[in-house]
Amino acid sequence: MLGGERMNFFIGLTDYDWYCELRDRNFDEVNFWRPGATRFAALQQNDMFLFQLKKPYYAVVGGGFFVSYSSVPIDLAWQAFGERNGTRSREEFIYRIIKYRERNHIESTLPSVGCIILTQPFFFRENEWIRPAEDWPYSVVVGKGYSTETDHEAYRIYQQVQERLQQQDLLNDQLTVERRYSERIAKQRLGQGAFRIVVTDLYQRRCAITGEKTLPVLQAAHIKPYALNGENDATNGILLRSDVHTLFDAGYITITENHIVEVSKRLNQDFGNGKDYYRLHGQSLVVAPTDRLKSPSTENLRWHNEKIYLG
């Protein structure tokens, strides 16, 4: 090992326009999207992902911390991230996807785009740019993974990234690159877009209560609302059909700590109907998270039962 704990990171190629669009926006998350749907599995949660400009620049110009990868419909990627995709409009987003698909000979009718979701992005000014690794293969069109354990160039780049972050006061005792590596299973600071995609995938793109699979009507619901200090954390989220989400937020539906659905009598009292929803009363959730460690928080479910539910 060249020094300290081994750090794995990935350097992904991007264009100057994407960098310029995001550099001064101070977003809490970005979508480093790919025009195709080839899976990205080079990093683990909280690993560092660096941005390197394509020719003629070939410089490392920033980065972020890896949340997850997902291949999602183009419209969902825009709805979730908007300008955090590095474009000003949905039309520009689609235009760039088509342009890169044509350039790289990717099937143009693909309905999805690959999303490499990054939290806490950072960008360097031109005088802070870092020269690429000496062994960078210029035939690469996507990117390359590195480890500081045995690679001197990886260690150099990692150290220079650290120095620039310290100069920008972006690192502190609570947030250092090393600490992120050592706390892989700790909660991440998810943005709204990442929260939506992570929860959608966690529930296999099905409503947890009804089993509905039609993606456009599925919504990542906060158990404890974000406006009331609920976190953008997977354990505070559940995927619900839009009408069920509305009733959940309004207190007409809740989920017990044992994951049993309850429908309030107030639904009929207030609206004189609700038989389609009363069929759900007493049933267990029909879809569970793929990662049991990210099941709905008992504390948040209890809060919803006591503070929101109209039972």
Summary count for the chain: helices (H), strands (E) = 10, 10
pLDDT of residue 177: 59
pLDDT of residue 174: 43
Q: How confident is the model at residue 28 (pLDDT cuts 50, 70, 90)?
A: very high
pLDDT, tens digit, 9 for 90 and up, residues 69-96: 999 999 999 999 999 999 999 999 999 9
Higher-scoring residue by pLDDT: 92, 151: 92
106-145 as b/e, with b when 16 or more CB fall inside 10 Å? beeebeebbbbbbbbbbbbeeebbbebbeebeeeeeebbe
pLDDT of residue 109: 86
pLDDT, tens digit, 9 for 90 and up, residues 258-303: 999 999 999 999 999 999 999 999 999 999 999 999 999 999 999 9
Q: Which residue has the tokens 């990886």?
A: 154
Cis bond leading into 56, ω under 30°? yes
Please tell me what DSSP assigns to residue 284: B
- From the list 11, 184, 32, the residue with the least C-alpha distance to 100 is 32
pLDDT, tens digit, 9 for 90 and up, residues 245-261: 999 999 999 999 999 99
pLDDT of residue 169: 64
Alpha-helical (H) ranges within the chain are 16-23, 74-81, 90-103, 152-167, 177-182, 192-202, 242-250, 266-271, 275-278, 298-307
- From the list 234, 77, 187, 132, the residue with the least C-alpha distance to 221 is 234
- Residue range 302-309: mean pLDDT, rounded: 98
State how far the Cα of 261 lies from the Cα of 311, in Å rounded to an integer.
12
Higher-scoring residue by pLDDT: 199, 180: 199
Domains of the chain (ranges plus CATH)?
Answer: 8-182 (2.30.130.30), 203-307 (no CATH)
- Residue range 137-156: mean pLDDT, rounded: 87
Conformational region of residue 86, where left means phi above 0, alpha means psi within -120 to 50, and beta covers everything else: left
| β-pair type (60-73, 8-14) | unpaired
| pLDDT at residue 172 tops 80 | no
Residue 244 burial (CB count, 10 A): 25
| pLDDT at residue 185 tops 50 | no
Cβ pair 101, 110 in contact under 8 A: yes
Q: How confident is the model at residue 104 (pLDDT cuts 50, 70, 90)?
A: confident
Cβ pair 64, 14 in contact under 8 A: no
Reduced DSSP (H G I as helix, E B as strand, rest coil) percent helix, strand, coil of the chain, to 5? 35, 20, 40
- Residue range 43-51: mean pLDDT, rounded: 94
Average pLDDT, the chain: 91
| pLDDT at residue 15 tops 60 | yes
State how far the Cα of 245 lies from the Cα of 200, in Å rounded to an integer.
14
pLDDT of residue 1: 45
